[in-house]
Amino acid sequence: MGEITRYINPTVVAHIAFVLVVALTVVGALIAVLLKNIVYNVFGLATALVGIAGLFIFLGSEFLAVMEILIYVGAICIAIVFAIMLSQPMHLRIPPRWRPKVVFSLIVAAVVFVSFSVIITRTPWEAHLIRTHDWSIKRLGHLLLTNYELMFELISLVLLLAIVGSIITAAAVGGARHSGGPTGGKEEGGP
């Protein structure tokens, strides 16, 4: 019985799995930020999101993990790649980085990092004595429509805004194309 447990400790296996998943997330995120080819960036992002899904599995929340892959990798990353492929030819020279943009994003990232660190360190984390295992879809649905109804509505609002925004953008481009000829729409729709 104990022959293998002498060499392999389940805790060690768990730690290795954790380190692997975190490495996937961090490396993916670095690829997403540092490389200059935008297609590589998106695939880095997808890698990072798969890593985050792994973290959710590690925390015992299979539903969130599957949703992470379904929505973020399966839908959002694909939408991004699709937008890239429709927007500019890939063989063109990649433009150099715009210095102020890098600085701004560094500032934003720093602010986010500091605020999250403060929140994490100030929250009095306490371990629950009994861990509930009831994270079925039904329970999550009930919670979304009762305790977390405000969040739920806010998310729907954000999605609605995105849809309305995209329709307005598309209508503006289409309208300009109809009135100003083929070139008018192109200028309007440019970045």
Q: Does 92 bind another protein (CB under 8 A)?
A: no
Please report how many Cα atoms fall inside a 13 Å half-sphere around the Cα of residue 25, on the Cβ side: 14
Q: Does 11 bind another protein (CB under 8 A)?
A: no
d(CA 70, CA 56) in angstroms, rounded, equals 14
168/80 Cα distance (integer angstroms): 19
Is residue 137 a contact point for another protein (CB under 8 A)?
yes
For residues 66 and 87, give the distance between their C-alpha atoms in angstroms, rounded to a whole number: 30
Amino acid at 164: V
Residues 104-123 that bind another protein (CB under 8 A): none
CB nearer to another protein: pick between 5 and 121: 5
Q: Is 73 in the site for another protein (CB under 8 A)?
A: yes
Which CB, 22 or 81, lies closer to another protein?
81
Work out which of 90, 111, 118, 157 binds another protein, going by CB under 8 A: 90
d(CA 48, CA 81): 16
Of residues 151, 138, 128, the one with CA closest to residue 63: 138
Interface with another protein (CB under 8 A): 1-5, 8, 10, 37, 39-40, 43, 46, 62-63, 66-67, 69-70, 73-75, 77-79, 81-82, 85, 90, 136-138
